Amino acid sequence: MASIDTHADGLTSQSWVERIPAHYYFIAIALISMPVFAGDFILFQIFGWTFILGVISLSLMFLAGYGGMVSLAQMTIAGLAGYMVAIFGNSAIDTISQGWPWYVAIPLALLIAVLFGTIVGWLAVRTDGIYTIMITLAIASAFFYFTRQNYVIFNGYSGFNGVLPPQLFGIDWRHPVAFYYLTLFWAVAAYCSVVYISRAPFGLALQGVRDNARRMAALGYNVTAHRVAAYAFAALLAGIGGILLTWQSGQISPGTAGIGPAIDILVIAVIGGLRHPVGPFIGAFIYVLLKTFAVDVLLSLGLAGERFQLLIGLGFLIIVFWSPDGLLGLWERFRSSRSRDPLTGRNGGGREL
Amino acid sequence: MNVPVSNMTRISGNGVGNALELRGVGKSFGALAALADINMVVKPGERRAVLGSNGAGKTTLFNCITGDFLATAGTIRFFGEDISAFPAYERIRRGLRRTYQISLLFTALSVLDNVYLACNGVSRGRFSFRRPQRNDAVTESAETLVNMVHLDSVRNTLVSDLSYGQQRQLEIAMALSGAPRFILFDEPAAGLSPAERRELIDILTNLPGHVGYIIIEHDMDVALRVSDSVTMMHNGRIFKEGKPAEIEDDPEVQALYLGGENHG
């Protein structure tokens, strides 16, 4: 956790290229070359969806992992951003959609998502623990029912279809390969920004607020303002994820941001692990694999296909039961048990995540 | 910001009048009056010891002054400014600092990160999304403070791995962050070894002259050596004020505290 050791020995002589661990390069090459050996379905449906859900979950991980605030409204914020893109930009519902160019519609959608996230945060930071979950769940369900019943702005039950990404640089961004790189780019950008901010003064102070809010106030920090600012940043991430999600399915409707999806985002973050920004992406990958292939596996076993939620629920139970830190926690435990000296029982120095 | 404790340039507020002026301050928890009618004047640069048995209201007094919780009666002035209704962070930004009796540290962060948080809380970069650059002023002042309390050898160690004495030293370093004008020390010597106590006394007596403090201390040797004046508290009220020698010789004080079973 040494965030400010810019003078740490051995680092000053290396360039930043050398400082990035080798496995990062390995993962980067694997991800960039993925379209060479993966089919369209894998690129668009598995990885595209993983990156999108990962980004939305990452916004929850940022709040919960660094700020200690579990918000169930992140999918709602994502959904709002998706709706705003549909309303300000183009969709098949041209009586409502304004048809404004993407460079107006997208920033406006993100701005509204951030404003909404800030208001959610401003309401939620008055509460703690279970009450934060309850208040954000209340906001999520209110949004779901409001969009379902409001036909003037949100087009009610059916929502918007035909919401497509702009044809920027002459590329069809919904083509599987292009969409894969589009979502990969934003996933990497979101991941890097969270890693960077976690060690910047803002992120460090947020972790201080999480661990001891009273002490932070006694060090001169406005704890409430810090928490609300964290919600605003998390809303930006969720908004980006929400727009990509809308483009992927080409539509947005109340069910996209319903209570089920809101809880799924929490499940993804917890399965992956809340301790590190890579957790939500691991959780999203497992969720997407289960959601996509569990039906086939269940059918081949002679069970009803709808039972895939049961598998996700069981997986969630097992992970929470064995490792409150998600799969990342299991991995950490495995590594520290391998590095433990069998004679003394001492740890041989497991690397910090 | 190389020598943070003597840096006067960042001092905010109008530095007139007394460092601390309490008028009729009271704090009630329901029917329980933890503090009642506290009147106290501390001049700039003055070093005051607050003595009293357990439950006399000493820590409650600190909590009211720093705004950890608001006093239910009276006014508190800090260098002439009425801070009675200010939230804690506004008081801290005006140059007030405190340590806690039971260490309130960020145990999952390193020593340097803890002091960095303390230095950054009173700087303008609180909300910065940018990581500190090399030769960053806040980082440098944090490093200076870490060296000052002799924790440089463990600067990158997690606080949870520190010894008790080292955690107390860290508390002090955090209280000295930024440009303190007045510090409240809540039993800084409790649980320290004799050598660590000597170090603590050194740090306190070597503070720049303009930095005043109030120290709560059960150890009379420490309390009387590092203070110019003494306030005795009993049952949430001020019982006696005077010079250290006067208090030590006062028969009432001796009966109540020094010779009594409450000592320690």
Residue of A nearest to B65 (CA): A218
pLDDT tens track for A44-86: 788 989 999 999 999 999 999 898 899 999 999 999 999 999 9
Over residues B167-187, mean pLDDT: 88
Share of chain B above pLDDT 90, in %: 3
Confidence band, pLDDT 50/70/90 cuts, at residue A305: low
- The top-scoring range by mean pLDDT among A221-235, B38-52, B71-85, B140-154 is A221-235
B200 touches chain A (CB under 8 A): no
First to last CA, chain A: 9
pLDDT over 50 at A2, yes or no:
no
Closest CA to B119 of B134, B97, B135, B86: B97
B93 touches chain A (CB under 8 A): yes
**Which of the residue ranges A142-156, A291-305, A333-347, B41-55 would you say has the lowest mean pLDDT?**
A333-347
Place of tokens 């996230």: A117
Cα separation, B15 vs B12, whole angstroms: 8
pLDDT over 90 at B2, yes or no:
no
Average pLDDT, rounded, for chain A: 83
pLDDT over 60 at B14, yes or no:
no
pLDDT tens track for A13-25: 456 667 777 778 8
What is the pLDDT at residue A77? 95
Give Cα A34 to chain centroid, integer Å: 21
Q: Are A353 and A276 in contact (CB under 8 A)?
A: yes
B108 touches chain A (CB under 8 A): yes
Place of tokens 């800084």: B188
Q: Are A280 and A58 in contact (CB under 8 A)?
A: yes
pLDDT over 50 at B258, yes or no:
yes
Residue of B nearest to A227 (CA): B127
pLDDT tens track for B203-222: 888 888 888 999 998 877 78
pLDDT over 60 at B54, yes or no:
yes
Over residues B222-248, mean pLDDT: 84
* DSSP letter (8 states) at residue B216: E
Over residues B8-24, mean pLDDT: 63
Asked if A6 and B132 come within 8 Å (Cβ–Cβ), the reply is yes
pLDDT over 80 at B66, yes or no:
yes
Say which of A212, A214, A222 has its CB closest to residue B68: A214
Q: How far is CA A86 from CA A54, A78, A109, A163, B174, in A?
A: 22, 13, 9, 6, 51
B140 touches chain A (CB under 8 A): no
pLDDT over 60 at B11, yes or no:
no
Q: Are A236 and A290 in contact (CB under 8 A)?
A: no
What is the pLDDT at residue B202? 87
Q: Are B12 and B177 in contact (CB under 8 A)?
A: no
Say which of B68, B122, B133 has its CB closest to residue A220: B122
Asked if A220 and B158 come within 8 Å (Cβ–Cβ), the reply is no
ipTM score assigned to the predicted complex? 0.79
Q: Are B64 and B25 in contact (CB under 8 A)?
A: yes
Residues with Cβ within 8 Å of A177's Cβ and at least 6 positions away in sequence, in order, are A35, A40, A43
The SS3 call for residue A313 is helix
Exposure string over B182-206, b if 16+ CB within 10 A, otherwise e: bbbbbbbbeebeeebbebbbebbee
Cα separation, A3 vs A352, whole angstroms: 13
Asked if B128 and A8 come within 8 Å (Cβ–Cβ), the reply is no
Interface test with A, best of B66, B129, B159, B184 (most A CBs within 10 A): B129
Do β-strands B182-186 and B212-216 pair in parallel, antiparallel, or remain unpaired?
Answer: parallel
| Token pair of A122 as six digits | 């401003």
Confidence band, pLDDT 50/70/90 cuts, at residue B191: confident
What is the pLDDT at residue B33? 84
The SS3 call for residue B73 is strand
B124 touches chain A (CB under 8 A): no
Say which of A197, A211, A221 has its CB closest to residue B89: A221
B158 touches chain A (CB under 8 A): yes
Q: How far is CA B255 from CA A191, B54, B104, B243, in A?
A: 65, 16, 34, 18
The residue extents of the domains of chain B are 100-179
